[in-house]
Structure 1
Amino acid sequence: MALGYGPPTLSDPTFRRAVLGTVLYLVLVSLLSAGIAAGVRHNGAAVGAVVALLYGPYLVTLIVPMPAHTLHLIQKISPMTAGLAVQSTVAGSATAPLQPWGGLAVLAAYAAGLLAVGGVLFKVRDA
């Protein structure tokens, strides 16, 4: 029992949400990546764009000094930190100042938008 918390069990609804949310997070990141890959159509550029989109805002918040409200805004709108909010099982320990399902919704919006843009670009170029 570390830090006053018992071992997680699947009977705990918070833990089940974190497990299911992690699976959904990975699915949404793969859909986001597929949308970027369809739009860019180059392996190296697609990998670079996905890494920059996921890790770029987080790295900026670590490197650039900024006020707390700006930091929270960037965390709310960046796909990685917002999506990872679903993994928090302890109140106040999330990576983004969002509710767990709200953070996953931000990532889903990114995935849907990039899939749509990638699909349109793919169709226009290969028409």
Structure 2
Amino acid sequence: MSALIAAAARLQAVLWRETEVAGAAPLPVLRALMEEKREAMVALSHLGPPDSEVERVALRRMAAAAEENALVLGAVADALDTLRQKLRTDLSEAANPGVYGPQGSAFPGPRKRPLRHTLAASLDRTA
């Protein structure tokens, strides 16, 4: 087996593992797979172009795995962005005393915000 085929197979295996766990793995696992993927890509980039049809097939398989990986990671990123926006909206509403606080003029004078509103506003700003 040539070095190019081995490098393409290594990268393909990492891509498959990352694709498989993308939706459920904890972030440290994904970070480790991303680093392993980076190392495999660097190793592959140091090799020259394919010399044989077998090497070209190995690269096509790796490219197909990379495309599937990109689609899955894109879907995960979209889901996380949707969750982030929902969290930001929910925290913003929780920090708004007009949403959860007393309404109308039944409470004259300046209204003091409960601590939970201050914390929610801090969380929203950093979310």
Instruction: Give the TM-score of the pair, scaled to structure 2.
Output: 0.35
The structure that has the greater radius of gyration is 2
Instruction: Give the TM-score of the pair, scaled to structure 1.
Output: 0.35
